[in-house]
């Protein structure tokens, strides 16, 4: 690093000679450190106080003990902070009381569970303790937000890199904090998915649901039915060239997600939303004729052929191959908007498909229409109703929840990131109404679905459907600033819920997104600092 410092000074001299500043002028007084509670999602407990800690040229990241995983998280943190600070930030297994200290296991960490952490900052060190590596990782996300936003830039910035003194003790409200990306309506590359994964992990999201098949495209290679991907994946909404993930691509997404402590939940939507599959194999159609590929945005016109045995050969092969590639416990089988499948056929289909998921060792998640069939024990319903969803339909989901079906909440008029913010939003849809930032944040997952016991709620998920979205910039404009609100509903205790306080914490994220190159929607509901 010394060499880089020297180079940096030379550049400064050179720049001074040209009459331009290489770095912004130093503010008269260093800005106050970020208060410990200005974090999204809100931590469960914050006790501020004591001296602040400032990172310096000699700061080390200490990972005593021999956990390779903890060392990886430390290396990840060093990689995040080196560019802006210009510090070496070596990761060492040497014990010591100064620097950034990771403590895995040990005294007092038992209560932190699988994902919780404690962050203690003061004087000569900031310590992150956790029972499990996921907790260290989430603690790192908090640490990032306590540093100045410029820490997120990829070029050297001026400090100071000060973290306020005190202790945060933090564990999640729910174990399931998801985001869904629709890669079917428009295909997103592995690189684009990784970029979104990095953004999700900032807010402690721990599930990435990939909507891998729909009418417009089949996006995952299946060896026993190769044309699903090569033909069924060859287009997208609007008629672009589409694409699909090879098995290696898919494994790379899973590897990357798990390095950010997210589990991938793959979805094959059935029996509706299957035009891409039906177009690829004539034998899957009741009339034996393959329809053309589809590039529009209508829903509800396609169905697998429920009475045909070949359908179940297909389902078995797809689920077997997908299960073999997927380390997580869940496979999502869709089941929404099967408007071209009769009710009896729908029930018969779900009765045959759920045991296949179980046979390959997985738990099925279905969109909440699954509760109109016979959800198998342990299988999960994902509620995506909205304010116009009938009382009967809500009651059907609530009754299933009372009878033991766990529920993930994705109410479309709250959690759907593809809904327009208001009438002027250039992207997105509005069938569930406009979803402002406040509306997406201001609800309680514990009491939202009347009649569903609070204990049936596994957590929340923010789906992002991609009929109108085809670039990372589109994803980011719709996800930010609403995604952090859904993440907070999943992580933070209900007692922290307060829109007026939340919008100020959210506003402080704006400069971070600017530093990261995330083009968010500057909603007038949020008091963003001036740019």
What's the CA gap between 188 and 199, in Å, rounded? 15
Residue 390 CB coordination number (10 Å)? 9
DSSP bridge partners of 46: 168
| Tokens (6 digits) for 51 | 């001296």
What's the CA gap between 191 and 168, in Å, rounded? 34
What's the CA gap between 154 and 83, in Å, rounded? 5
Q: Give the side-chain half-sphere CA count within 13 A for 434.
A: 11
488 is catalytic: no
Contact 190, 216 (CB under 8 A): no
Contact 131, 109 (CB under 8 A): yes
What's the CA gap between 69 and 136, in Å, rounded? 10
Q: How far is CA 422 from CA 105, 403, 475, in A?
A: 47, 38, 17
Q: Which of these is catalytic: 69, 337, 393, 525?
A: 337
- Closer Cβ to ligand TNX, 216 or 263, answer by number: 216
Q: Give the side-chain half-sphere CA count within 13 A for 511.
A: 17
Going by their DSSP bridges, the two strands 213-214 and 207-211 should be labelled as: unpaired
- Closer Cβ to ligand TNX, 139 or 485, answer by number: 485
Residue 200 CB coordination number (10 Å)? 25
**3-state SS, residue 503:** helix
Contact 484, 509 (CB under 8 A): yes
Q: Least separation, in Å, of the C-beta of 401 and ligand TNX? A: 18
Burial class (CB in 10 A: 0-12, 13-18, 19+), 475: buried
| Type and span of the H or E element at 85 | helix 68-85
Residue 509 CB coordination number (10 Å)? 24
Q: How far is CA 35 from CA 42, 47, 202, in A?
A: 12, 10, 18
**Sequence-separated (6 or more) residues with CB below 8 Å from residue 245:** 190, 212, 219, 220, 221, 229, 253
**3-state SS, residue 62:** strand
Going by their DSSP bridges, the two strands 166-170 and 176-182 should be labelled as: unpaired
Q: Which residues bind ligand TNX (CB under 6 A)?
A: 299, 336-337, 367, 384, 416, 418, 429, 465, 467
| Tokens (6 digits) for 119 | 């962050």
Q: What is the DSSP string of 113-175?
A: TTT-EEEEEETTEEEEEESSHHHHHHHHHHHHHHS-GGGGSSS-----EEE-SEEEEE--S-S
- Closer Cβ to ligand TNX, 136 or 365, answer by number: 365
Relative orientation angle of helices 472-479 and 190-202, to the nearest 10 degrees: 20
What's the CA gap between 230 and 235, in Å, rounded? 10
- Which residues are part of the catalytic machinery? 337
């Amino acid at each position: 690093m010394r060499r880089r410092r020297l180079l940096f000074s030379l550049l400064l001299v050179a720049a001074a000679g040209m009459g331009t500043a290489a770095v912004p002028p130093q503010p008269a007084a260093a800005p106050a450190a970020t208060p410990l509670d200005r974090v999204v999602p809100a931590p469960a407990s914050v006790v501020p106080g004591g001296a602040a800690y400032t990172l310096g040229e000699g700061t080390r990241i200490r990972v005593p003990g021999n956990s390779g995983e903890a060392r990886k998280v430390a290396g990840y943190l060093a990689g995040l902070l080196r560019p802006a600070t210009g510090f070496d930030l070596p990761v060492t297994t040497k014990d010591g009381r100064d620097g950034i200290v990771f403590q895995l296991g040990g005294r007092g960490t038992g209560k932190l569970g699988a994902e919780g952490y404690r962050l203690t900052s003061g004087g000569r060190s900031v310590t992150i303790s956790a029972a499990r590596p996921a907790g260290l990782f989430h603690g790192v996300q908090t640490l990032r937000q306590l540093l100045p936003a410029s820490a997120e830039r990829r070029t050297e910035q001026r400090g100071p890199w000060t973290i306020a003194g005190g202790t945060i003790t933090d564990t999640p409200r729910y174990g399931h904090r998801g985001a869904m990306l629709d890669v079917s309506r428009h295909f997103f590359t592995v690189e684009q998915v990784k970029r979104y994964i990095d953004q999700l992990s900032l807010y402690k999201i721990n599930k990435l649901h990939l909507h891998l098949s729909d009418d417009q495209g089949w996006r995952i290679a299946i060896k026993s039915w190769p044309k699903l991907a090569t033909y069924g994946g060859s287009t997208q909404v609007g008629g672009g060239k589409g694409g699909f993930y090879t098995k290696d691509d898919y494994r790379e997404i899973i590897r990357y997600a798990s390095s950010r402590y997210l589990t991938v939940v793959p979805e094959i939507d059935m029996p509706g939303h299957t035009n891409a599959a039906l177009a690829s194999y004539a034998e899957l159609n009741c009339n034996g004729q393959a329809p053309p590929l589809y590039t529009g945005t209508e829903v509800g016109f396609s169905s697998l052929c429920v009475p045909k045995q070949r359908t179940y050969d297909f389902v078995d092969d797809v689920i077997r191959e997908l299960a073999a590639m997927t380390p997580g416990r869940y496979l999502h089988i869709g089941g929404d908007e099967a408007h071209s499948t009769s009710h009896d056929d729908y029930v018969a289909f779900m009765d045959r498909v759920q045991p296949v998921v179980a046979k390959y060792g997985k738990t099925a998640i279905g969109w909440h229409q699954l509760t109109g069939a016979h959800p198998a024990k342990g299988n999960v319903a994902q509620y995506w109703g909205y304010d116009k969803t009938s009382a009967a339909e809500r009651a059907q989901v609530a009754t299933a929840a009372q009878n033991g079906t766990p529920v993930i909440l994705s109410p479309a008029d709250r959690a759907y990131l593809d809904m327009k913010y208001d009438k002027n939003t250039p992207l997105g849809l509005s069938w569930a109404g406009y979803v402002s930032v406040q509306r997406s944040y201001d609800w309680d997952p514990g009491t939202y679905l009347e009649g569903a016991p609070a204990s049936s709620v596994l957590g929340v998920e923010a789906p992002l459907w991609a009929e109108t979205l085809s670039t990372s910039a589109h994803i980011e404009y719709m996800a930010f600033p609403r995604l952090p609100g859904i993440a907070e509903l999943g992580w933070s205790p209900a007692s922290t819920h307060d829109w007026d306080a939340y919008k100020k914490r959210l506003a402080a994220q704006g400069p971070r997104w600017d530093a990261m190159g995330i083009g968010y929607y500057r909603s007038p509901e949020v008091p963003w600092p001036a740019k």
